[in-house]
Amino acid sequence: MNGEAVVGRRLVLGLGLVAALGGVVSCSPGRRGPGAAPEMVPEAVPRTVPGGTSLVPTPRPLSVPAAPGLAVGPSASPAVGPRQAVQEPWQPFPDDRHPAPGPWRPTAPGQAASDLQHPVRRSWRPASDPPDLQSPAPGPWQTAPGPGQAVPDPWQALGIHPAPAPGPAATPATRKRMSARRRSGAGRMAREVSNGPRDRPRVALTFHGAGPADLAERVLSEAERHGAHLTVLAVGDWLARHPRMARRVLAGGHDLGNHTEHHLDISSMGEREAYDEIARCAARLRRLTGTIGSYFRPSRAHHATPMVRELAARVGYRTCLSYDVDSDDHNDPGVATVTANVLDTVRPGSIVSLHLGHPGTAEAMPHILKGLARRRLQPVTVTDLLAL
């Protein structure tokens, strides 16, 4: 009787062991049917044993927060190719080697164990994040902000930035103003030219057109005797006093351009006043010659400012004329100084600045023209200097 009881107890223990082993096998990773029990993973539970504390794994359900378009778990993983390692759901990239404390190691007292404490790091962003991914806690790639610091955006840390919001569509009135601005030349700038090509033996003698008409006549006649052609940038009120000089310049084969209406400091003017200075002289040239001329030179300035260049383009000029040789003749330093200032610095392609209306300039003209001839430099108009 005692032997039968022992055999019965052994049989009961064997059946219990088989049932236990069957439960472990049913919870192992693999394909499971729709009605299968939740997947079990070992959880570290501290137990006291003689000699210290050890970790004994016990089964618990695996709970993974789902994200749109992101399947987690062995049953949802894609097929693994040859020589390709299987990635754990909590370790999607090889560089995530130290995730947050999980079920495979003990946590601090009072801290909940979670195998996905941080959102899964990935190189794409779904159209709409679930609530638990919209404002994630600081992860392995992101440190918690200090006092007074804003919480960093994990997507910007990955180099992903939202697209800028589209600007408001242009209204019909706005499009009409933009079209009128383009037609008027606003927004475009006239180019500024300081010299011509350096590979040709040509120079341009350019004159600020003002002063007594007889001095201007002397300069023009001297140039024509030497076969030279000049460029005169006329001041508007000078042409108002001597209107015949416009035709006289063109009749001698010279260029005629715009040097503002009153020869004031155009760089210090406002937009409306500067535009008026350019436009009034251009209108006067058109009345006298039928054209506004090809070139504009800013008054009392070596270079045109961006605003002046834009205004010149609005009036109709494509080129603002500067220079690379200054004779300084407007200060009347004397014939020898004016001549030396020109001949000592001139070279092929130079544009020389001179002035009508100064006796020293008229007297220096023969010396300048002879000096250019000795240097084998031909004085031509700016149009010929810049011609291809």
227 part of a folded domain: yes
Residue length of the chain: 388
16 part of a folded domain: no
107 part of a folded domain: no
Q: What is the pLDDT of residue 10?
A: 65
Helix (H) or strand (E) holding 386: helix 382-386
Q: Which domain holds residue 364?
A: 204-386
What CATH code is carried by the domain that includes residue 268?
3.20.20.370
The reported pTM is 0.55
Q: Is 234 helix (H, G, I), strand (E, B) or coil?
A: strand
79 part of a folded domain: no
Rounded distance, CA 80 to CA 74, Å?
A: 11
339 part of a folded domain: yes
372 part of a folded domain: yes
Q: What is the pLDDT of residue 62?
A: 47
Rounded distance, CA 265 to CA 248, Å?
A: 28
222 part of a folded domain: yes
257 part of a folded domain: yes
Rounded distance, CA 197 to CA 362, Å?
A: 27
Q: What is the pLDDT of residue 14?
A: 64
Per-residue pLDDT of the chain (388 residues; tens, 9 = 90+): 555 655 566 665 666 665 555 554 444 444 444 444 444 444 444 444 455 444 444 445 444 444 444 444 444 444 445 445 444 444 444 444 444 444 444 444 444 444 434 443 333 444 444 444 444 444 444 444 455 555 444 444 444 344 444 444 546 765 666 566 555 555 699 999 999 999 999 999 999 999 999 999 999 999 999 999 999 999 999 999 999 999 999 999 999 999 999 999 999 999 999 999 999 999 999 999 999 999 999 999 999 999 999 999 999 999 999 999 999 999 999 999 999 999 999 999 999 999 999 999 999 999 999 999 999 999 999 999 999 7
Q: What is the pLDDT of residue 388?
A: 72
Any idea what DSSP says for residue 372?
Answer: H
The number of domains in the chain is 1
Q: What is the pLDDT of residue 179?
A: 60
Q: Which two tokens stand for residue 388?
A: 């291809």
